[in-house]
Amino acid sequence: MYQNKKSRVLGLLAGAAAILATSSMAQAETVRVVLGYYSAATQELFEGMAKDFMEKHPGDEVKIEVIQWDNLQQRLTTDIAGGTEPDIAMIGTRWLVDYVKNDIAEPLDGYMTPEFKGAFIESFLSPSTFDGTMYGLPVAASARAMYYNKDLLAKAGVTEPPTNWDGVVDTAKKIKALGTDAYGFALQGKEIETDAYWYYSLWTHGGDLIKDGKSGVASPEAIEALTLYKSMIDQGLTEPDPSGLNRQDIERLFKQGRIGMILTGPWLRGQIKTDAPTLNYGLSPIPEGTTKATYGVTDTLMVFKSSKNKELAMKFLTETAFSPKWRIEFSTKEGFLPVMKEEAAAPVFADDPQLKAFTDMLPYARFAPPVANWEQMVDAVIAAVQKVYIGQAQPEAALKEAAATIDGLIQQ
Amino acid sequence: MNRARTPANGKIGRASAPYLLILPSILFAFWIIGYPIYDMANMSVHAVNRFGKTAAFNDFANYQRLFSHQLFIGCLIRTLVWTVFVVGGTVLLSVPIALILNEKFFGRTLARIIIMLPWAVSLTMTGIVWRWSLNGQFGMVNATLREFGLQDTPIEWLATSTTAFPILIAIGILVSIPFTVTVILGGLSSLQADVFEAARIDGATAWQRFRYLTLPLIRPFLNIVLVLNFIYVFNSFPLIWVMTQGDPANSTDILVTWLYKLAFRYGELGIASALSIVMFVILLALTITYAALAMRNERSTA
């Protein structure tokens, strides 16, 4: 009898313990983070941040998942449609407007101290700010510059890299006159960022993507910008049939020493270091037309409105992911520009003369306009420039068609 | 007493039992196949945001926008050209290949394996390999041509649709051959040898035997191959996506690659679901028409 009672008490105790255990488990929170793949280092970097954070906040968990950029938008879209979205996601900043419009992104101002916000380089915050409210933190930033092959230019008798488009055409002609298998100026003609390669010319000729609520891609400046590229193709100053080459293709040609000048981002430095360490190259600003410009691109970390652990998610970002230590580690390993002031002042960035070519251009950086339907506008522009590159349409006609499509999308 | 009653009960049971037994599977199949179609059709007549949240019924505005889209007709025509040429080319090539492989010769097993091997490679993989081979600056095709002195300046094969689209069709044929040959080979091996022997004794030439015996006898197999290939090729996404993504300027886009862009790049889920329904209807109509024609033919020859 006594025995029986004792076991019953024990049983009750065990039950109570079990209940306690589950309730304390419920208090421990999990933050799921979905990221885009930049390089093999991405996963490792964020796992490191997660480990740091979990040591500081025992019991809580940060789960990292890295996905190819090509699939990221589709993955998040299906997650959101199915209600299984993570707490934090990395997205292209230009997607953010759709997330804000559909009430999916959480406004972040309430979670940040003024000091934290003030630690960022001002110009990188504007692309993720809508109506004065911040919806994302810039995680990776890049600007574009011109890489030139010093040996090739010297062989052609050019000692200083050209600073304007006339100079680029002139130099390319001299490289062509060498009669080797090298091309003067690389022109990207297909796939991701084919439009951007033309924006360099558009912006430096004084054009705008969107002006007064209408598309600016058929402006006289835009037509001039495209006519310039087309004339370079026709004169054989670029590689033949640019519409067959994507960004990797022209970068590969540059690494092989077969391109005089190419416009691209800071990542190529890292690639040259490993793939073509003997290549003698220099960096200079994007050639000028009537004005200076470069393309600034940022990626963003955003928090989902639907997340149950928004407080903890923001803590992970403000305490760990955007701490100077991890920012420096991230930007140097991935080859991006610093987005925070303390980061920019660190010796690795401040004392790198090559990086100066990129950071010097930041004041002139243009960003993709924060409009809805951006991807569709990009494809309209790409179709237009491709038609011109392959000789299927004249610059003016092709750009007018694209502008009409874009105007229709703006009104939607 | 008991015994006597059982057979009577059993008779009713026996008649309906099969239906009752397969009823759950049928319902399940209907649900699996039918629900997505219903969901898609439902989405196609509503306003949908890019995250799949449906709003109000919108008077077929999605269909209207689809049919008036500047790219729709071009993609539709290209899809039909693509499908007819790939399926036609595949069947035209597969019949002689199957006939040869059906003969007894030294190394036949090896030849059969070689023909079947590409089947084991995923379409994406095949696409990547060809994309590399056709690369103007670094590709194997241009390197070979240059080696033989057939080329001075590199050709970018995928840079214009005049070269890219025929190449895509040729590769489409190449990857459809293994399946098609297998089915036709199965048909050929089911033919009775004595019929052909009789024909030969009666003095029929090889061509006559093929034209009046082999071809009519393997017709059911050809029908299967035509219908199945038509469906596969019409909806074939990976090859074109990997090799050109519809570039340049949408000139190699077919409906299914454009559909992917609409849905996942542009977030136009409304138009995309309308397009899916249109594609489904086209395929259904063509398949039913063909099946009806083939059946009538069979009945008239029988």
Residues A205 and A351 in one domain: no
> Cβ contact (<8 Å) for B135 and A80?
no
Compute the nearest-CA separation of B224 from chain A (Å): 35
CB < 8 Å to B49, chain A: 102
Q: A256 near A276, Cβ under 8 Å?
A: yes
Does residue A19 have a pLDDT over 70?
no
Q: Can you give the pLDDT at residue A229?
A: 96
In A291-394, the DSSP E strands lie at: 294-295, 297-303, 365-366
Compute the nearest-CA separation of A1 from chain B (Å): 54
In a domain, A315, yes or no: yes
Residues A252 and A393 in one domain: yes
Q: Which helix or strand (DSSP H or E) is residue A185 part of? A: strand A183-185
In a domain, A288, yes or no: yes
> Cβ contact (<8 Å) for B160 and A242?
no
Q: A144 near A263, Cβ under 8 Å?
A: yes
Residues A220 and A362 in one domain: no
Compute the nearest-CA separation of A395 from chain B (Å): 14
CB < 8 Å to A252, chain B: 137-138
The alpha carbon dihedral of A168, A174, A176, A181 has a sign of negative
Q: What does the alpha-carbon distance between residue B21 and residue B264 come to, in Å, rounded to a whole number?
A: 41
Residues A244 and A378 in one domain: yes
Residue A271 class from Cβ within 10 Å (0-12 exposed, 13-18 middle, 19+ buried)?
Answer: middle
Q: Which domains does chain B have, with CATH numbers?
A: 69-301 (1.10.3720.10)
Residues A123 and A209 in one domain: no
Does residue B8 have a pLDDT over 60?
no
CATH of the domain at A176: 3.40.190.10
Q: How confident is the model over A289-317, as a mean pLDDT?
A: 93
Q: pLDDT band for position A17 (50/70/90)?
A: low
Residues A228 and A218 in one domain: yes
Q: How confident is the model over A145-149, as a mean pLDDT?
A: 95
* Interstrand relation of A210-211 and A297-303 (parallel, antiparallel or unpaired): unpaired
Residues A287 and A306 in one domain: no
In a domain, A22, yes or no: no
**Which of A330, A346, A366 lies at the terminal end of a domain, its last residue?**
A366
In a domain, A7, yes or no: no
Q: pLDDT band for position B301 (50/70/90)?
A: low
Residues A175 and A64 in one domain: no
In a domain, A35, yes or no: yes
In a domain, A326, yes or no: yes
Which structural domain, as residue segments, surrounds residue A116? 29-142+297-366
- Total domains in chain A come to 2
Residue type, A175: I
In a domain, A14, yes or no: no
ipTM for the predicted complex comes to 0.83
Tally of CA atoms within 13 A in the half-sphere of B218 that contains its CB: 26
In a domain, A61, yes or no: yes
Residue type, B14: R
Residues A205 and A320 in one domain: no
Residues A120 and A58 in one domain: yes
Choosing among A77, A79, A193, A241, which should be mutated to test the B contact, i.e. which has the most B CBs within 10 A?
A241
Q: pLDDT band for position A20 (50/70/90)?
A: very low
Residues A242 and A376 in one domain: yes
For the stretch A364-373, pLDDT in tens is 889 888 888 8
Residues A44 and A185 in one domain: no
